A and B are shown apart, each in its own frame.
Chain A
Amino acid sequence: MLDSLRARLLLWYALILAMVIVAFAGTVCYLFWRSLVRDIDANLRADAVTIVRALHPAGPDGFDLDLPAQYSDPELVDRTIRMEYAVWNNRGELIDRSDVSIEGPPPVRSTPATAGQWRELSSGGPQGVTILVRRDLDDARSAVLSLGGTVTAAGAAALALSLVGGWFLAGRVLSPIARISRVATAMAAGDLTARIPTDRTENELEQVALALNEGFDQLHRAAERERRFTADASHELRTPLATMCAEVDWALMRDRTPAEYRQTAEICRRAINRMQRIVEGLLLLARGDPASSPFQWLPVTLTAIVRDAVILLTPLATQKGIAIETRLDEVTLRGDADRLTDLVLNLVSNAIEYNKPGGSVRITLWADDTDTHLSVADTGIGIPAEHLPRIFERFYRADESRTRGSGGAGLGLAIAKWIVDAHRGQLECRTSAGQGTEMLVRLPAPDYSSSSSRVTNVSSSVLTARTVSGWLRSTPARARRFIG
């Protein structure tokens, strides 16, 4: 591909250069020819004058022509000036001529003209005499041809030389493209660490290379994230799978008692629950691609969502001896009711799960001019500072055993973060070890300019029709996902 580009570049270059050389050679030869002809014309005028001077009247209408040897001696003339002449009197009778082939008399023109191989001048002389002088153009022609040949040869040599230079030059210019192409090919083949070397910064193509490298970096990071996610997901799924395999293998080794079989079934059930939670979380995140499952952007009353979530999670809190306190302002915003429900359930169930026995969860919801704020604070053990930057990563656990014991899949906060991001909000975590953790959601206020009158109606209908009845229908599975 690049070689053909190089060849095409060179072809155009050669074509233009050849045209320039031809034009140049043509101009040079033409100018040379003109100067030669001008010289000949000057000589012809001098010849005519010489002949006029050499005419001596003889008799009533006659003339004698007494030319110097360089004009009259045919051999000498042929060797030197190659001039021919003829002279007629006023009656058109030939007085003298140097060659029999000259017919005449011609009309007097007094400017030189070209006739065949000759340049000739016919001029009038004293007493109606007509003089024709002509000089051979062969010498001039061959001189021009010889010059043309020389110029052409030199031009061809220059063309060849510049073609060779052009081939190298084109290669040099195209070499960054070749580098880029090589790296792109390596990337396509799966080597995501390949980068275009960028050392020669004076080149415009370096900017392209830098931009491409930046793109490659992002691609690499995305692929790396994807790879780690896949590895984590498979790791998370393998552990319960291993438990089931080992347990079933053990049960099948020999005959077991009904109690032993029951125990095996229970262990398998627990492993299945965990895998189910992981798969559900993964599906939820996979659906994070808005193209596959668009958000329903409708006005929703967040207060109602929080209240319903608290009602749903109160049994769990009671079971763990944890009190839930709420201070909720009426807040309506534009968002996806199902996703916001997931978010609130997630945060509140986390706050219950990682609390101390006898602790409390405080939920506060308020709005200011620009934002809606939801704070879920627990009195749990807090999250150690070194874990904070990573808690929103999928499968990340601050404490393996703690989360494992409660059966979490390590996806909850990743999902929460994703939901908040999709609402163009911010999710913050403030924590102090031993004192508790506060998850703070900030969502931008909705734009009411379009449909403020419908807000209350739509939001309440959304909540009753979709969200709440949805919870009731799927409470066991849905609640398990967040509670477990």
Chain B
Amino acid sequence: MRLLVVEDERDLAETLRKVFDEEGFAVDVAFDGEEGLFKITETAYDAVILDLMLPRLDGWRVLASARTARVRVPVLLLTARDSLDDRVRGLNLGADDYVIKPFALPELVARVRALVRRAYDAPFPTLVLGALTIDTAARRVLREGLQVDLTAREYAILELLTHQQGRLVTRSTICEHLYDENTDVLSNVVDVHIAALRRKLGADVIRTRRGEGYMIDA
């Protein structure tokens, strides 16, 4: 899952980066509104955490511009502005959630996960795939009740494919959702992860459409 954090307070932005990195997200950071808006419109994020009081272009305008440009990404406003007017205005501008600073970190993570689930139209925190059970909150995979040991990347690919069950997912889409902007990806790295997943979960779980991408059958 790929996340954008738009926050001008650098310490907080870096903290959020490492927190969500640990939670298995690929995190990009923007320190002002213009940079944030550029990234939102250029990259297919799974969620955006957006501050309101930003230099150059404030969060309101970033949000409004993104929605005007028909960007569908779920947006969580993270701000010290706590008045009812601000909250209502933010949600009416197209935000999906509103969290007031200071916040409890576990709650912020849970809310971002909820946004991602909603965006994929997958309200169930536990996904079942034949003999496999995927617990998205704990990021664990059980096969017939036994935990399967997956790396963070492998898990992320499995979750992405499961969310898009029955649909083809291209290699570049997988890269986009798995790696942040600072990581150079070798073209065959996805194939390597897929091979590992097949070894651990069984060869028939993920199907290859040669030259196009991967999919999990519905």
Task: Spell out A's residues near B (CB within 8 Å).
Answer: 231, 234-236, 238-247, 249-250, 253, 267, 270-271, 399-402, 404
In the bound complex, what is the Cα–Cα distance between A401 and B53 (angstroms)?
10
Residue contacts A-B, CB under 8 angstroms, 30 given:
A235-B80, A238-B82, A238-B101, A239-B9, A242-B9, A242-B101, A242-B103, A243-B9, A245-B104, A246-B15, A246-B16, A246-B102, A246-B105, A249-B19, A249-B104, A249-B105, A249-B106, A250-B19, A250-B105, A253-B22, A253-B105, A267-B15, A270-B11, A271-B11, A400-B53, A400-B55, A401-B8, A401-B56, A404-B8, A404-B9
Shortest Cβ gap from A338 to chain B (Å): 32
A239, B101: Cβ atoms under 8 Å?
Answer: yes
User: Could you mark each residue 29-55 of chain B with 1 if its beta carbon is under 8 Å from any beta carbon of chain A, else 0?
Assistant: 001100000000000000000000111
Task: Spell out B's residues near A (CB within 8 Å).
Answer: 8-9, 11-12, 14-16, 18-19, 22, 31-32, 53-56, 80-83, 100-106, 108
Contact residues in B for A244 (Cβ distance below 8 Å)? 102
B102, A241: Cβ atoms under 8 Å?
Answer: yes
In the complex with contacts A235-B53, A401-B56, A242-B105 CB distance below 8 A: no
Contact residues in B for A246 (Cβ distance below 8 Å)? 12, 15-16, 19, 102-103, 105, 108
Contact residues in A for B103 (Cβ distance below 8 Å)? 242, 245-246
In the bound complex, what is the Cα–Cα distance between A209 and B9 (angstroms)?
49
Shortest Cβ gap from A292 to chain B (Å): 28
In the bound complex, what is the Cα–Cα distance between A402 and B104 (angstroms)?
28
Closest to B52 in A: A235
In the bound complex, what is the Cα–Cα distance between A13 and B62 (angstroms)?
71
Interface of chain B, main secondary structure: loop
Contact residues in A for B106 (Cβ distance below 8 Å)? 249
Contact residues in A for B9 (Cβ distance below 8 Å)? 239-240, 242-243, 404
Shortest Cβ gap from B111 to chain A (Å): 13
Contact residues in B for A231 (Cβ distance below 8 Å)? 83
Contact residues in B for A245 (Cβ distance below 8 Å)? 102-105
In the bound complex, what is the Cα–Cα distance between A253 and B23 (angstroms)?
11
In the bound complex, what is the Cα–Cα distance between A240 and B12 (angstroms)?
8
Closest 7 CB pairs of A and B: A249-B105, A242-B101, A401-B55, A238-B80, A400-B55, A242-B102, A243-B12
In the complex with contacts A238-B102, A242-B102, A247-B15 CB distance below 8 A: yes
Closest to A267 in B: B11
Contact residues in B for A401 (Cβ distance below 8 Å)? 8, 31-32, 55-56
In the bound complex, what is the Cα–Cα distance between A271 and B9 (angstroms)?
10
Contact residues in B for A235 (Cβ distance below 8 Å)? 53, 80-81
Closest to A237 in B: B80
In the bound complex, what is the Cα–Cα distance between A267 and B9 (angstroms)?
11
A243, B15: Cβ atoms under 8 Å?
Answer: yes
Contact residues in A for B19 (Cβ distance below 8 Å)? 246, 249-250
In the bound complex, what is the Cα–Cα distance between A399 and B34 (angstroms)?
14
Contact residues in A for B55 (Cβ distance below 8 Å)? 399-402, 404
In the bound complex, what is the Cα–Cα distance between A351 and B185 (angstroms)?
46
Closest to B12 in A: A243
Shortest Cβ gap from B80 to chain A (Å): 4
Closest to A266 in B: B11
In the bound complex, what is the Cα–Cα distance between A235 and B102 (angstroms)?
10
- If A243-B12, A246-B16 are given as contacts, then 14 extra A-B residue pairs at C-beta distance below 8 Å, sorted by A number, are A238-B102, A242-B9, A243-B9, A245-B105, A247-B11, A249-B104, A250-B15, A267-B11, A267-B15, A271-B11, A400-B8, A400-B55, A401-B32, A401-B55
Contact residues in B for A236 (Cβ distance below 8 Å)? 80
Shortest Cβ gap from A228 to chain B (Å): 11
Closest to B104 in A: A249
Shortest Cβ gap from A60 to chain B (Å): 128
A234, B104: Cβ atoms under 8 Å?
Answer: no
Contact residues in A for B80 (Cβ distance below 8 Å)? 234-236, 238-239, 242
Contact residues in B for A250 (Cβ distance below 8 Å)? 15, 18-19, 22, 105
Shortest Cβ gap from B24 to chain A (Å): 14
